[in-house]
Amino acid sequence: MPIRVIKHEVVPQTGSFEVRFSDGRPSVFFYWDDMPGRRLNPEFTDSKRALEAAKALARAERDKKMKYAANRLYRWRTFIKVCSVASLGLIAYAALGPPDWQLRPMLGWKTEHFLGFLTVTFIASFAWPRALLVGLTFMATAGLLEALQGLTPNRIPDLPTALSGAGGALLGSVAAEVFMRARRSAAKAFARSERDKIK
């Protein structure tokens, strides 16, 4: 629920503008009276100035909420970046490390590569601004890790497995891009409706 500016006019040419908050805080009222002879209370002003003061408060509170949300998003993206790098390290270990030291779900190499890169790419795409670029990076990583297996004594590079990892990375980035575009559209529509209520 956005911050709203509500007009109250019980008596003609006198009333108040209520700034109603979305977090349950008490509303703030700006009282007005367009008949100067009736303004006995010093808090009263004309309707134009009262509306401007109410809108100024609503905008300030809205900007404060947006700044707080931006700070939370920055911290969340930093956490996702750390998790993405750690997950990529685990995938590299699973691809190049000793087979005896690994815990595998035994789904088959192609399925494991597809699901692993799908999950990691989908999560990592939320940390960087361009999901498709993240997908291309992880697709290249899938091929590189498979090629590096040729340098290990107990691994053999496998093209279908590399393609499975690249396919998972591509699908994960596309899914993340679609999700983020839909979320941005919904956020813009919400912000636009909130601005319209404050205008």
DSSP output for 68-102: HHHHHHHHHHHHHHHHHHHHHHHHHHHHHS-GGG-
Number of domains present in the structure of the chain: 2
pLDDT of residue 65: 83
Domain C-terminal end among 66, 93, 113:
66
Same domain, 161 and 85: yes
pTM: 0.59
pLDDT of residue 168: 92
Same domain, 101 and 120: yes
What are residue 10's phi and psi, to 5 degrees? -75, -45
Full residue range of the structural domain in which residue 35 is found: 4-66
Same domain, 83 and 171: yes
Same domain, 118 and 58: no
pLDDT of residue 41: 64
CA distances from 62 to 30, 80, 188 (A): 18, 27, 14
Same domain, 22 and 97: no
Same domain, 84 and 14: no
pLDDT of residue 146: 84
pLDDT of residue 97: 72
What are the per-10-residue average pLDDT scores of the chain (199 residues)? 82 88 88 75 80 90 83 84 84 74 65 88 85 89 86 79 91 91 79 61
pLDDT of residue 37: 66
Same domain, 30 and 86: no
Same domain, 131 and 174: yes
Q: Taking a C-beta distance cutoff of 8 angstroms, is the pair 166, 117 a contact? A: yes
